[in-house]
Structure 1
Amino acid sequence: MKAKVKIEHMLKTHDVFPNTPNFSQPKDSIFTFAYWVSKGLLVFDDFTYIFVLGACARSQSLSTLWLGRQVHVKAFKSGLMSNLLVKTTLIHFYANNKDILLARSVFDEMTERSSATWNAMIKGYTSQRERSKKCCREALVLFRDMLNDVSGQIPTDTTMVCVLSACSQLGEIYSGACVHGFIEKTIWVPESDVFIGTGLVDMYAKCGYIDSALSIFRLMSVKNVLTWTAMGTGLAVHGRGKEALELLDAMEGSGIKPNPVTFTSVFSACCHTGLVEGGLHLFHSMRSRFGLEPQIQHYGCIVDLLGRAGYLNEAYDFIIEMPIKPDAVLWRSLLSACTVHGDLAMAEKVGKILLRLEPPKNSLHMPITSEDYIALSNVYASTGRWRQVEMVRNKMKLKRVETKPGGSYIQTVCSSP
């Protein structure tokens, strides 16, 4: 009788989670799922595996990585590894969790692949931060294999955006131009697709062809915030600060609100072209004009802007008066500027502050590195203050800060007669 009641109350995953893509926090979905499983009230079917793996892919934590691997094993034992959607989601899960080799292993074992499967593997390669160059080359090889595949899978806009991203990261204009040509000869008119158009703008800008990027940008009939940001970043990299500021005005005029990344790119352009007044004016108008609260990276851009221009005291005061706690990156930027401009007194002051920083809460990683100790040591060595050099070296040993292979300037100056 109890068994009958239990069977009648068992639910399928799509009954419990009818709107799972709308979960703002994947962990909420996973914990809810685990609760139903622990009560024995959930039927394991193909949708179950797809749901859990998708949530684990979005969460990207050690606990969900472990859970995803357990789901993989259970799917294998249940005989569901022949299901195309399950395998495609599994590729996405492993790639998102930085295990690209396991993702590729699943991909290679598949006898049937959809365009979504190819996209998951290509996107997985282009999203890797470690060995990114090698992975991007693999993505281009995989794209070629997709075109030659006997199943005749047709690339989608997602495919082309990922392939363009690979070309951008590699900085290979020849490959990028070939992909552009392929796009024009097949289905798409690049300027009419906001995602492909943005990918082309980004690719040409990162490959050094900023005028080609501008031409495509101007031809695009529809632009989103990513398009404007990609163009602004390209102008920043090429030192065209005035045009980047004008671009922001045009963006506002088009009715699209810039995001924090947009401001980072424009501030970067101001830094590289010495537009101190324009950069400061934009920073102070973030709240009033655009309704955005400056973030730590924006404060860092202003410190860099002032430091590069030689306004070291102003940069120091700017950091001290910040409403949020400055991190090591800001102090490191100012220390570098002090060294470049030869203000050794300020450099010593900043260097001491930098070495006193403690790790952020819930972090075991020190915010300072061996390079920070070396930088302060260089300041002392440049004025012949060898006793202070030795003190920095001893403090470095006390803190057990390891130098990178190849030696350091501290070792060099301390061994000098």
Structure 2
Amino acid sequence: MHITPTPRPNFSYSHFSRQMRKLILSLLEASFNRCTDLRVLHGHTIVLGIIRDSFVASRLVEFCFKSGRGDPHYARVVFHSLDLPDVYTWNAMIIGHAERDSPNSGVSYYFQMLARRVPPDNYTFALVVKACMMGSCEDNELGRKIHGQILKQGMEDLVVVRNSLMNMYCKMGQFEDARLLFNKSLILDLVSWNSMISAYGKQGDVESARELFDKMPQRSLVSWSAMIDGYVKSGSFVEALRLFSEMQALGVKPDVVTLVTVLKACANLGALDQGRWVHLYINRIKIGWERNVVLGTALVDMYAKCGCIDVAFELFDGIHVKDAILWNAMIGGLAMHGHGREALEIFSRMRRHGMMLNETTFLTVISACAHSGMVAEGVEIFESMKREYGIEPKIEHYGCLADLLGRAGLVHEAEEVLCNMPMKPLVSQWGALMAACKTHNNVEVGERVGKRLILIEPLDGGRYVLLSNIYAAAGRWEDARETRRAMEERGAKKETGCSVIELDGTIHEFIVGDTTHPQSREIYEMLSELKRELKTVGAE
């Protein structure tokens, strides 16, 4: 039986009005959302004769890369079936490969586009820079080559292109080049400012980030969040909370990202009142922390680190879907406060639930054992990392094992761990062992470790002071005096002591000898009074 083929519609899609074009594109998108086979959608465009239209072709290529049904291979099939793909379709291939398949392939399509003599537009350059940044951030020459082509085309001053270049240089760690582009720009938008502030914050340069933040002609929520996040990443938790208070005073409403960052600051400071306020705010605006594992984890971490273990447990059990980060946060909070047995119970529950154990899991649970004096359990868990789970211990795990042994008074064994580990120990790990020697009055290992630390950090006065104290506790007064004398001769300085407390929701920071606190006179008078009272009872 002969079947007459359905004739292709005798029209050119380009003749349609703009409204009709939008309608057909909307129908295509609706069709895409309904069907599970890109080939069906492709077939519709061929039957209708509209695949030849550049806008339809580029839209179909975009559909091929969309999440959930992404099919980069079929995107290439569609693309290479086109006679003359235009700049929009090339752009779709560049960004599609960059985001879903292979960033380097995205860059490759850009060079193919040039070889086919298709003129790039401003979005092409922005997209290829993004692809270059995502796939070849270590290949600085490639990024500079693309930048050179942008200069030749006279497109560097376009905001979208310049922002992409700044992000690329920041990703490469070339902040001076990024800042030069920023300073040269005649037109800056919020993305430009936010990108530089975020980049400085991530590398710990909060001074430069704050300088730009204070100069911004206007700020968005992203600006505030980037600056607060920068403070948290650099350990400036007090400044992070101060800026959050300023943000609230100006009526800027925080989002989930901001709240998670603020909760991290509260957790690290032990600022329970501020953390509780954030929790109440979350409940008031009904974000639903029970179903948001990132926000729920931040709350659990904050309460656990602030010592509210019962509240942390209640929240932990209330979160519907738990990931490894949440389990680790609960174990870490228990570890901080010496609840070793409870931490091991959570660790056991984690394994029973079939959760994937990672490096952080082992680090937190060994730390819990260290803070609770459970040496045998901690050593067994350390040894099980590689034996049962195929996880190679890293420098942090060896340091935690040494800390576990040192806290228990097994300083010789701890020293052996640090000397025999497959990587060079950190200075802080030697310092922890030296503190353990002071606690357990082990002069032999303490002297050996102390001299090693003084060789590594000859200007750190804290090392001399601790070694001197170890000598003094053992009655070796001449060695103690000689150590103090060496400290003075070398000009070594002990790090200034600092403490932080929260009172009625306000964070107060105190530094030795500092008189900047508004109530410093009253504080010092009270300290003097306490000193006098201690003398009268013979307690000083």
The verdict on a shared fold, with TM-score over 0.5 as the criterion, is: yes
Match of 1:13 in 2: 125
Counterpart residue identity of residue 379, structure 1: I
Relative contact order, CA 8 A, sep 6+: which one is greater? Answer: 1
Summarize the Cα distance change of 1:31–1:133 in structure 2 as closer, same or farther, 3 Å threshold: farther
Match of 1:285 in 2: 384
2:276 match: secondary structure: helix
Counterpart residue identity of residue 373, structure 1: Y
Match of 1:69 in 2: 179
Q: Which runs of 5+ in 1 are unaligned?
A: 1-5, 358-365, 408-417
Which of the residues 52, 55, 60 maps onto 2:168? 55
Task: Pick which of 382-391 and 310-319 moved more.
Answer: 382-391
Q: Give aligned-pair identity as a percent.
A: 33
CA contact (8 A) 2:130 2:164 kept: no
Take 1:179 and 1:374, find their aligned partners in 2: how far apart are those partners? 41
Which of the residues 327, 341, 357 maps onto 1:242? 341
Match of 2:304 in 1: 205
String of CA shifts for 1:165-209, please: whole Å, max 9, x gaps. 233234332222222122122242111101110111112112221
Summarize the Cα distance change of 1:105–1:279 in structure 2 as closer, same or farther, 3 Å threshold: same
Counterpart residue identity of residue 213, structure 2: R
String of CA shifts for 1:312-364, please: whole Å, max 9, x gaps. 2322333333232333333322222222222223322333444445xxxxxxx
Which of the residues 107, 126, 135 maps onto 2:240? 135
Take 2:221 and 2:430, find their aligned partners in 1: how far apart are those partners? 48
Counting only pairs closer than 5 Å after superposition, residues 7-406 of structure 1 correspond to structure 2 as 12-17=124-129, 19=131, 22-23=134-135, 26-28=137-139, 31-38=141-148, 40-41=151-152, 43-44=155-156, 45-59=158-172, 61=173, 64-75=174-185, 77=186, 80-81=187-188, 83-96=189-202, 97-98=205-206, 99-107=208-216, 109-110=217-218, 113-129=219-235, 131-145=236-250, 148-149=251-252, 155-357=254-456, 366=457, 369-389=460-480, 391-392=482-483, 396=487, 400=490, 402-404=492-494
Counterpart residue identity of residue 100, structure 1: A
CA contact (8 A) 2:309 2:334 kept: yes
CA contact (8 A) 1:94 1:103 kept: no
String of CA shifts for 1:381-415, please: whole Å, max 9, x gaps. 344445544554565567x35123789xxxxxxxx
Counterpart residue identity of residue 199, structure 1: A
String of CA shifts for 1:207-227, please: whole Å, max 9, x gaps. 221111111111111122221
CA contact (8 A) 2:263 2:278 kept: yes
String of CA shifts for 1:96-130, please: whole Å, max 9, x gaps. 342232232244x11xx54434433443343332x
Summarize the Cα distance change of 1:20–1:251 in structure 2 as closer, same or farther, 3 Å threshold: farther
2:425 match: secondary structure: coil
Tell me by how many angstroms 1:73 deviates. Answer: 1.2
Take 1:327 and 1:163, find their aligned partners in 2: how far apart are those partners? 30
Take 1:157 and 1:406, find their aligned partners in 2: how far apart are those partners? 36
Take 1:248 and 1:58, find their aligned partners in 2: how far apart are those partners? 36
1:19 match: secondary structure: helix
Take 1:7 and 1:102, find their aligned partners in 2: how far apart are those partners? 42
Summarize the Cα distance change of 1:406–1:306 in structure 2 as closer, same or farther, 3 Å threshold: closer
Q: Which runs of 5+ in 2 are unaligned?
A: 1-116, 498-540
Counterpart residue identity of residue 105, structure 1: D
Take 1:254 and 1:163, find their aligned partners in 2: how far apart are those partners? 30
Aligned residues: 374
1:293 match: secondary structure: coil
CA contact (8 A) 1:240 1:269 kept: yes
Tell me by how many angstroms 1:10 deviates. Answer: 8.3
- Computing the radius of gyration over CA atoms, which structure comes out larger, 1 or 2? 2
Take 1:93 and 1:57, find their aligned partners in 2: how far apart are those partners? 6
Take 2:451 and 2:425, find their aligned partners in 1: how far apart are those partners? 15
CA contact (8 A) 1:92 1:103 kept: no
Summarize the Cα distance change of 1:332–1:160 in structure 2 as closer, same or farther, 3 Å threshold: closer
CA contact (8 A) 1:369 1:401 kept: no
Summarize the Cα distance change of 1:287–1:385 in structure 2 as closer, same or farther, 3 Å threshold: same
CA contact (8 A) 2:132 2:142 kept: no
Take 2:470 and 2:297, find their aligned partners in 1: how far apart are those partners? 45
CA contact (8 A) 1:68 1:93 kept: no
Take 2:279 and 2:426, find their aligned partners in 1: how far apart are those partners? 41
Provide the TM-score with structure 1 as the length reference.
0.79
Summarize the Cα distance change of 1:235–1:350 in structure 2 as closer, same or farther, 3 Å threshold: same
Summarize the Cα distance change of 1:331–1:182 in structure 2 as closer, same or farther, 3 Å threshold: closer
Provide the TM-score with structure 2 as the length reference.
0.62
Take 1:368 and 1:285, find their aligned partners in 2: how far apart are those partners? 40
Counterpart residue identity of residue 143, structure 2: F
